[in-house]
Structure 1
């Protein structure tokens, strides 16, 4: 007697399946938005690595040539030796700037400590 009318039971079951599809679609959209946001966040944390020839990188080595597919030819500071490395291994060289005695450095617009 519970499902005596087969037509109404079939319609109810069809409505339940449609609701389940809506819930699935909603979950898919939410996961898609989450993935896009996390990718954008992680991509914003990536530092750019644009290397130009004849500049100093990775300790005091000098970039001689940039080859296709991420290969870089480095030169030692005295120019006696050159070797090829993967671009992903090369890092920027942040040398300490030397300031001569008597030179005044303006601190206008400097960030607070």
Structure 2
């Protein structure tokens, strides 16, 4: 009788372990599909907003601001005007002082009317 309980207990434990493994595999697959879907939506949104044209008004991301403890200041400088676009995402922009410089298109975003902090000037 004790041998029978031990055998049925081991079979039950074996089934529990395999059921747990199936649940883990299902969760892993579900997580992978979700991550792929989110990445696809994120990439689609990035590409839609990064198509600049000459004459567009844009804001430039200020990466140096991270070094300072300025929490409430905007990290975007501008507005700037797009003067020239190169392959691989490089863009020449012009600021209000008619100074041109080349930046990566990843550091730019389209400017929508409104005030911009001018603390860097």
Higher helix fraction (1 or 2): 2
Higher strand fraction (1 or 2): 2
The answer as to whether partners of 2:80 and 2:93 remain within 8 angstroms in 1 is no
- Greater alpha carbon shift after TM alignment, 6-15 vs 35-44: 35-44
1:65-97 per-position Cα deviation (integer Å, ceiling 9, x unaligned): 5375x44223579xx642223323434579xxx
Structure 1 unaligned runs (5+)?
A: 95-113
> Whose relative contact order is higher, 1 or 2, with alpha carbons under 8 Å and at least 6 apart?
2
1:63 to 83, 97, 109: 83
Structure 2 unaligned runs (5+)?
A: 58-78, 113-121
CA distance, structure 2, for counterparts of residue 65 and residue 43 of structure 1: 21
| TM-score where L is the length of structure 2 | 0.48
Across the aligned residues of Structure 1 and Structure 2, the Cα RMSD in angstroms comes to 3.6
- The aligned counterpart of 1:97 is none
- Greater alpha carbon shift after TM alignment, 21-30 vs 31-40: 31-40
| TM-score where L is the length of structure 1 | 0.50
Deviation at 1:30, TM superposition (A): 1.9
- The aligned counterpart of 1:16 is 16
- After superposing on structure 2, the runs of 4+ consecutive aligned residues of structure 1 that deviate more than 6 Å are none
Greater Rg, structure 1 or structure 2?
1
- The aligned counterpart of 1:88 is 106
Alignment length (residue pairs): 90
